[in-house]
Amino acid sequence: MSRVTARRRVVRLDGADGPVRRRGGEEHMAAEEPLELRIGGRPFTVTMRTPGDDFDLVAGHLTAEGVLAAPDDLVRMKFCSADNGCSSTAYVDGEASLAFADGDPLNIVDVTLAPGVELPEERLRRSSYVTSACGVCGKTSIDAVHAAARWPVAHDDVKVSAETLFTLPDRMREAQKVFAKTGGLHAAALFSADGELVCLREDVGRHNAVDKVLGWALRAGRLPLREHVLAVSGRASFELVQKAVAGGIPVLAAVSAPSSLAVTLAAESGLTLIGFLRGRTANVYCGPERIID
């Protein structure tokens, strides 16, 4: 059984045509489970996520943290049990139903980094807890983002037409297979400058969805993502701007509002930030020169 969704019994209340009526039923819900990331067997962080594309999530998170830059930076990723027993079964992207013989879910991933890829010791000592709502809220300053940026986006001269921008939310929604079933997932979609969908990932956490896109790009050897547009289904937070900058993505478009700190970081990084992308309207908060009529 897939762990991406779960079925739960519900009581539906219906008062649309008069007195309230109750009726039973079942509903598909987006799954949410913890994923612990270990590096060399040592705990690094825990995030709440929707199972599936877990290796992309891990690789993307480490890319956004400035640890990884190329596929060769990763030697191995493997699922482990709580007592450090590790799965020898290869993980297949998109398949979320793998499990140990005893039935324990695969909610721990252990990463082996290539020689020379360093992880600051203070991060290993500070095992942070990340929720699906806020990610790494407040722990990354604007100065730290600039210092960690491997591929500055300010000089990316990509141009995107307004007409192309207007099509992105619908194209993203059409590709959201799990959202169509549950209505409960965020999406991050990577597009070419002419509007071709390159990669889409879903998750209960908007930051996880973006990490999954970054991880896919890293593992495919496609970083930096110059001349691309990242579209997200929710609001544009500081953290999402930080992740776009970390991936070398010059344009970030959100269907909802940006935060003030997100706008500040985008402006200082030279990233084009678009919010309220709905129908045939949008607000361009930074970098309007990349948007052409």
203 touches 209 (CB < 8 A): yes
Q: Which residues pair with 13 in a beta bridge?
A: 22
Q: What DSSP character marks residue 224?
A: S
Q: What angle do CA 47, 259, 193 make, to 5 degrees?
A: 85
* Sole residue written with tokens 């200082």: 268
Q: Catalytic annotation on 134?
A: yes
Q: What DSSP character marks residue 90?
A: P
CA dist 46 and 125 (Å) reads 14
Catalytic residue among 86, 134, 137, 286: 134
Q: Which residues pair with 276 in a beta bridge?
A: none
Q: Residue 237: which of 210, 203, 201 has the closest Cα? A: 210
CA dist 125 and 244 (Å) reads 26
Q: What DSSP character marks residue 161?
A: E
Q: Which two tokens stand for residue 154?
A: 């300010």
**Catalytic sites, residue numbers:** 134
